[in-house]
Amino acid sequence: MSLINHRAFNKMYQRDKMTLGFSIPTAKMSKNPIMENQLELARKIEDYGFAALWLRDVTVQNLDVDDNGQMYDLWIYLTYLAAKTKHIALGTSSVVLPLRHPVRVAKEAASIDQLFPERLIMGVASGDREKDYIALGVSKQDVGPLFKERFSFLERLLKEDRPTLHSDFGVMDGTDMRMIPKPVSSIPTMVTGFSKQPMEWIAEHGDGWIQYPRTIGNQTKLINDYRTLTEIHTPGVFKPFSQTLFIDLSENPDSPPISIPLGYHVGRNQLVELLHQFQEIGVNHLAFVLYFSQRPPAEVIQELGEFVLPYFPTH
């Protein structure tokens, strides 16, 4: 199935253009994320016209760090947001495949797509949270091959009607078994980070690539290498590049960018200039992360929606 007519994919991704989204929660990083107002803020983000909301796949709380995603289970909270919003794309960044059975992931993703057609953008990853692996009794030693095997299993379940699949973690016999429901259309499946795979494999098998923030120079090289490989393996197929960016939006609109972890403290006018640079090097979607933000998230969302989003509208 093609992504040419996929609603969320086409609203978010066009060649040589960039759209904007947000990572949930839109709150300052803390051991216990503030979730009480996230639906209100998600609706505000949608009303302004941002392209997507992104959710994390975090299983257990690591008491040694302050980053625990949106706290609630990825699929349950995504369903909640989908039911309470209208059309904004909902992205996973990302489903940790070595920690989730691909048959369950296929059923969950296809169910979302049936209930909320063409709103899901599914990022998948190998995962880097040691405590989640310990809690679920999965060894990180073989995570690369495990991710690759489960990715292939998942893709066939979602894209073939009655595949026959044999693996160490299960069997699907297409002669008398079939995954239900089936997606309304092809679900965009994008690799996050490297997921312990070479870039060539990512360029060939993913529908796009989700990456972490880097300097303009480093990200430029990464994107150029990726585009070269996608053209070799899937000539003429547009495979978008997405990334996050951590921002602490200054109250002074002209504040120059000052580096913070994975992003910038910056005023909105200089942020627009930065975003134009990201668009020029080939970033097709950028998701703001407000974990280091000092200002109330509602203020930041309003300012970005009124003064920054018009330069990078959702398609």
| Alpha carbons 37 and 53: distance in angstroms, whole number | 15
| Angstrom distances, CA of residue 54 to CA of 61, 213, 227 | 19, 15, 24
Q: For residues 55 and 92, is the Cβ–Cβ distance under 8 A?
A: yes
Question: What are the pLDDT digits (tens) for 61-78?
Answer: 999 988 889 999 999 999
Looking at residue 117, its pLDDT comes to: 97
pLDDT at 115 over 70: yes
| Alpha carbons 241 and 41: distance in angstroms, whole number | 26
Looking at residue 2, its pLDDT comes to: 74
Reported for 220-228, long-range contacts at CB under 8 A and 24+ positions apart, including other chains, are: 220/281, 220/282, 223/281, 223/282, 223/283, 224/282, 225/199, 226/199, 226/202, 227/282
Any residues with CB less than 8 A from the CB of 44 and at least 6 apart, and which? Answer: 298, 301, 302, 305
Gyration radius of the chain over CA positions? 19
7-311 homologous superfamily: Luciferase-like domain (3.20.20.30)
Question: Both tokens of residue 69?
Answer: 């995603």
Q: Is the dihedral of CA 155, 161, 165, 169 positive or negative?
A: positive
Instruction: Give the number of other Cβ atoms within 10 Å of residue 185's Cβ.
Output: 17
pLDDT at 1 over 70: no
Question: What are the pLDDT digits (tens) for 122-178?
Answer: 999 999 999 999 999 999 888 999 999 999 999 999 999 999 999 988 999 999 999
Question: What are the pLDDT digits (tens) for 279-291?
Answer: 999 999 999 999 9
Question: What are the pLDDT digits (tens) for 95-106?
Answer: 999 999 999 999
Question: What are the pLDDT digits (tens) for 215-250?
Answer: 999 999 999 999 999 999 999 999 999 999 999 999
**Span between the terminal Cα atoms of the chain, in Å:** 22
What is the rounded (10 degree) CA torsion for 279, 315, 27, 41?
160
| Alpha carbons 235 and 223: distance in angstroms, whole number | 16
Model confidence band, residue 34 (pLDDT cutoffs 50, 70, 90): confident
Q: For residues 187 and 109, is the Cβ–Cβ distance under 8 A?
A: yes
What crossing angle do the helices spanning 74-84 and 102-115 adopt, rounded to 10°?
Answer: 0
pLDDT at 31 over 90: no
Question: What are the pLDDT digits (tens) for 51-63?
Answer: 999 999 999 999 9
Question: Both tokens of residue 224?
Answer: 């150029």
State mean pLDDT over 112-118.
98
Question: What are the pLDDT digits (tens) for 296-308?
Answer: 999 999 999 999 9
